[in-house]
Structure 1
Amino acid sequence: MAEKNVIGKWKLVRSDENFENYMTQIGIGKVGRAWRKKYKPTQIIVKLGNKMAIRTTNGLFVNLAEFELGEELTEKTVKGEVVKTTYTFEGDDEQTLTSTSNGSKHGILKTERVVEGSEMVHTLTICDIVCKRYYKKVGEAPPFEKVIPPKPGSADAPASEHDANEEKEDQED
């Protein structure tokens, strides 16, 4: 399936001139904008069945979005606003990973990730401002459970810290 095109580890190589305008529109202050323009985030995108996760690391922070395709979830924006977001694959051959977030006082937030040639183009839209950020693939995606560890108490979680240590030792062998 074409959706696997976005699965992997991606490193930002450049942003277009609208990145500053986009950040201003979503309420990021001058210092935050300067900081975000300086750093080159890495995105790891993984999929297991209908579940997906995107882990973004950028210097001092890690943002983790874990979701099921087509199901609405509650999450926070970079400014701490609570929004309702739905992730889907759209377009020809379902090759565009799209998210739409409602509930921000700044407007509807929409993102699209699609692989074009050797780059992943991450398009960010709010109101009439459209920004594109370009990523280069720097590796394959790790296993889903390396990005999203099992939640304590779930069937996949170790029963105790001792079990977790044994499991880790087994993986190292």
Structure 2
Amino acid sequence: MDVFFGSWKFDKSENFDDYMKAIGVNDELISVANVVKPVITISQEEESVVITTQTVISKKEIRFQLGEEFEEKSIDGRSCKSVINLEGEKLVQVQKDESREITIVREIQDGKLITTLTCDEVTAVVTYEKV
């Protein structure tokens, strides 16, 4: 788990627009998402893991314990329930709302944080470099 801790800056993304459309994000928000370059910080505070995503226009924080369901807001503001587990060397998040299930897999490859987002048959990959 320690390998994830630290700050990670956006490097590149693949197929992110199609993923955003698949989860129901409107074109205006997709345009904004393509401009901002988030910094992700992963840390541990007592028994909770904290993932903070910060851009020039917003800051989102989730606090969770591995294997325990928690509520959060999706990228477009919908309420959803998530569970994050450590599976081998991957943080696997399953996020559900009334209409869909999204899987977010975070892993370290060659010193980079690779985030693979999947909804239905659409997958995007976002790569972050350690700050």
| Greater C-alpha Rg | 1
- Give 2:58's match in structure 1, choosing from 58, 61, 69: 61
Q: TM-score, normalised by structure 1?
A: 0.72
Gaps in structure 1 of 5+ consecutive residues? 139-173
Q: Of residues 94, 107, 111 in structure 2, which corresponds to 1:118? A: 111
| Residue of structure 1 in register with 2:125 after alignment | 132
Structure 2 partner of 1:35: 32
Q: Distance in 1 between matches of 2:92 and 2:111?
A: 19
> Which amino acid in 2 is paired with 1:123?
T
Q: Which residue of 1 aligns with 2:7?
A: 9
Alpha-carbon distance in structure 2 between the residues aligned to 1:48 and 1:134: 25
Pick aligned residue for 1:45 from 39, 42, 47: 42
The residue identity in structure 2 corresponding to 1:128 is E
CA distance in 1, matches of 2:26, 2:79: 19
Give identity over the alignment, percent.
Answer: 26
Q: 1:96 aligned to 71, 74, 90, which one? A: 90
Q: What is the count of residue pairs matched by the alignment?
A: 131
Match in the other structure for 1:71: 68
Give me the TM-score of the superposition, normalised by structure 2. Answer: 0.94
Could you tell me how far apart the structure 1 residues matched to 2:66 and 2:41 are?
Answer: 17
RMSD in angstroms over aligned alpha carbons? 1.2
Deviations 1:53-72 (A, max 9, x none): 00000120001001111101
Runs (4+) of structure 1 moved beyond 4 Å? none
> 1:82 touches 1:104 (CA, 8 Å); kept in 2?
no
d(CA) in 2 for partners of 1:37, 1:104: 26
SS in 2 for 1:79: coil
Q: Within 2, Cα distance between the matches of 1:30 and 1:108? A: 21
Higher strand share: 2
Alpha-carbon offset, residue 84 of structure 1: 1.3
Q: In the aligned structure 2, how far is the partner of 1:102 from the partner of 1:27? A: 13
Aligned AA (2:121): D
